[in-house]
Chain A
Amino acid sequence: MKQFAQLIKAIDSTNKTSLKVESLTQYFLNASEEDKLWTIAILSHRRPKRPVNTTLLREWATEISGIPLWLFEESYHIVGDLAETIALIIPSSENELDKSLSEYISEIITLKTLPEIEKKAYLHENWLKLNYYERFVFNKIITGSFRIGVSQKLMTRALAKATSIDEDILAYKLMGNWTPETTTFQKLILEENEEDYLSKPYPFYLAYAVEDDFQTDLGDINDWSFEHKWDGIRSQVIIRNREVFVWSRGEELVTDKYPEFQRFLEEIPDGTVLDGEILPFIDGDIANFNSLQTRIGRKNITKAMLQKTPVILNAYDLLEWEGKDIRQLPFSERRELLDKLISQCSCDEIGLYLSETMNITTWEAAAKERERSREKRSEGLMLKRKNSPYLVGRKKGDWWKWKTDPFTIDGVLTYAMRGHGRRANLYTDYTFGLWDGDELVTFAKAYSGLTDAEFRKVDAWIKKNTLERFGPVRSVTPHHVFEIAFEGIAESKRHKSGVATRFPRILRWRQDKPIEEANTIDDLKALIPK
């Protein structure tokens, strides 16, 4: 565990990618095979099931640290991370204890099956024996959410350096439904294994957002293929050996969540891998992404859900055809094959649609098409280089997204909450209201978009202009207007304003605007696409 905790500490203490990769590479060269395999699993979001629920974790940590539960909760709110809070409030010990990462994990797996009283005894004992960083890592494994600023891609790069296996091949090996309990480092990484490849998707190629003046950088517009970009779940649908596998971009096998796609077997031959977007499709039309939210979270999909929010695959690329990996073919050729496949089958019946490509010959026309996105309810345009192969991961150059400009509206700051982590001493999480008559109705929360200096200024103002305090939240005198940007908007019964916004963020502090000039709820509703 010491070795793994040291690795996490080393990664935490630098913001340089090269140093993070270097630390990981060293780790992969020195750790045991079991530990390496678990490290790969953890960094690719394959963790042991949570053995204890967070309520119990909080209670037990509180008990051992001798503070009241409310104080634990306040601290947790400020620290912003449960594993870190527990690691911080428990007294540190000088005890030396060195079990390996994999030993700890196998204990944690067994822990799930033990009675509560033994779980508690186990946690108490180990919390006290570990030092701060080990305790933090231990808690992270138990609670699940391990974000350490190392993407799967960086991990794969380090592993490639340590094993001298090609990075793309490793990325492919690491996909799929393995866990350290069903494989070994030898089998997963070092050996070739045909069977495993049956359900394996290809690493997704991800687009970058265009930059300013990108048109000149992209060269001849005729080299580019245009599509509208829809807000859905990026997925690969695999048909091999008379089976269907659905993979989402998080590299999760989600076949069971979309039983609709079983019908692909009726029309699509084996040895086919489609890349596209799963979209809600209601009454013959692409519906708002919000309507899919209820389905995403559920483990079991009911009939009612299938009827209420059916989905389709809007396919835009073909990665495997007739059992062959065709990712090296130019995009235009892959698309020709895809177009042919879809035109030859009764695709609307099985819920397979084709993302239409457009040839646009001038940037003016492209800009016009982009402006039509709102009415088509797309998020903007995708630009793909016609002669490009299908790359791995996020690589600049061949795929670009050119989103519509965000919606914006001017709201009034009404509530503020302390931030987390490095902003824990500042009020940086804000709630904004819009006018409904002479009342301000909450419509969005946002906590990013201002500079540190601006946050400090607003924070100082908040502390002097507090009306009421509710735990960590303060209501403030309505005085400041902020321009809020957001990506999407839809009607919502769950929000008091009757409207849900997607990815709201602060665009600007409108110090020039009095609150009377902030927008109204009706202004906001007028933005909902009809």
Chain B
Amino acid sequence: MKQPLLVFNEKGIYCEQADVYIDAWRPVDKCIITHGHADHSRWGHKQYITHHKNTSIIKHRLGDIIVTGKAWNETFVINGVTFSLHPAGHIVASSQVRVEYKGEVWVFTGDFKTENDGLAEAYEPVKCHTFITECTFGLPAFKWTPQAEVFNDINNWWATNQAEGKTSVLFGYSLGKAQRLLKHLDPSIGKIYTHGAVENMTEVLREHYDFHETIRITRETTKDELKGNIVIAPPSAHGGTWIRKMVPYVTASASGWMTFRGARRRRAMDKGFVLSDHADWDGLLESIKTTECEKVITTHGYTDIFARYLREELGYDARTEKTQYEEEGAEVGDKKEKEAAS
């Protein structure tokens, strides 16, 4: 029996023919990286290959690494295997990886979402035979509202808090969610302040992307300055002493998990907005259909349930592989984020 083009071993997703890994979770020689989140771009590989806009992101996170940048759709051949990167729409500069060898095509999504969020390069379906997909929200209970509506709610929330003389504190991961929030906040309401970890990452991204003006919160920032304005901070900053400066404040988080009433009612946050950087149920199904694939491998999320649905209801050859990618909402804080938070 011939060896599959990509296998899942103890280090990551591996292409033996090219001797290359994708999003490996243990240190390897050569690794293609889909995006800058810590569970996909880990420390310790000898050589990194990623989209060129992502190189500064992972350098910021991982320090001095050897990294080669590629453009969208640019093919590169390693030992007869053709690779290329395609927008995944998950966060800024996030890619899917297309792998082709002797006419057989595999695609790995990394993390992805199908809605164009106006910041991350919009998801592009890629035709393939085998589609390796995340399914963080692979349940029919997850159906996203268009982001325009959600941002309308977020901006209204901010304006209401302002009218009550309170500071709004909005939590989102310092890479990805934070910038998506920033992009769509309405600066006519007030000023946008950032936690150090968010500001550092946003500064890196300003090289390629446009954002509203932000003000870094420092020791010198006063309560009165913040009043009525909004603060974007990583979830790790919640509950720490850092937030006391904002009193009186109102907190909110934005995540796909806020779909659940139990999550919205959790005591930690005052408000929950349903806003995810992953595909919802319909998004997952639609993209699988568009790839025209025959085989599907689910990697993280509701993997078993989603694969069973694809198998039994839609007739795909679908299975699950164990990986070490985290689901949205898991603590993906890296060292720098924690330092900046403390």
Which A positions have Cβ atoms within 8 angstroms of B? Answer: 12-16, 65, 67-68, 70-71, 74-75, 78-81, 84-85, 88-89, 91-92, 136, 149, 420-425, 453, 456, 460, 463-464, 469
Contact = CB atoms under 8 A, between A and B. Distances in A.
Contact of B140 (A71, A149, A420): A71
Contacts of B261: 12, 81, 84, 136, 421
7 contacts: A71-B139, A74-B305, A78-B141, A81-B261, A136-B261, A421-B261, A423-B262
Given A74-B305, A84-B261, A456-B330, A422 B266 contact: yes
Contact of B305 (A71, A423, A453, A456): A71
A71 B141 CA distance: 10
Contacts, number: 85
B257 interface: yes
A75 B265 CA distance: 19
B257 A15 contact: no
A67 B270 contact: no
Contacts of A79: 141, 260
Contacts of B309: 67-68, 71
Contact of A13 (B264, B329, B331): B264
B255 to A, nearest CB: 10
Given A13-B271, A15-B270, A84-B261, 19 more contacts: A13-B264, A13-B270, A13-B272, A14-B270, A14-B271, A15-B267, A65-B140, A71-B305, A74-B139, A75-B140, A88-B141, A88-B142, A89-B140, A89-B141, A425-B328, A456-B331, A464-B322, A464-B324, A469-B304
A81 B140 CA distance: 15
Interface of B: 139-143, 257, 259-267, 270-272, 302, 304-305, 308-309, 312-313, 322, 324, 326-331
Nearest to A423: B262
B257 A12 contact: no
A421 B322 CA distance: 24
Contacts of A89: 140-141
Nearest to B256: A425
Contacts of B259: 88
A420 B262 contact: yes
Contacts of B140: 65, 67, 71, 75, 88-89
A10 to B, nearest CB: 11
Contacts of A67: 140, 309, 313
Contacts of A65: 140
Contacts of B329: 425
B285 to A, nearest CB: 11
Contacts of B262: 80-81, 420-424
Nearest to B263: A422
The listed residue with most A CB atoms (<10 A of its CB), out of B139, B141, B263, B312, is B141
A453 B338 CA distance: 14
A453 to B, nearest CB: 8
- Residue among A149, A421, A469 with max Cβ neighbours from chain B (10 Å): A421
A16 B324 CA distance: 38
Q: Which 6 A-B pairs have the closest CB atoms?
A: A421-B262, A422-B263, A88-B141, A422-B262, A89-B140, A421-B260
B141 A425 contact: no
B313 A424 contact: no
Contacts of A74: 139, 302, 305
A70 B262 CA distance: 23
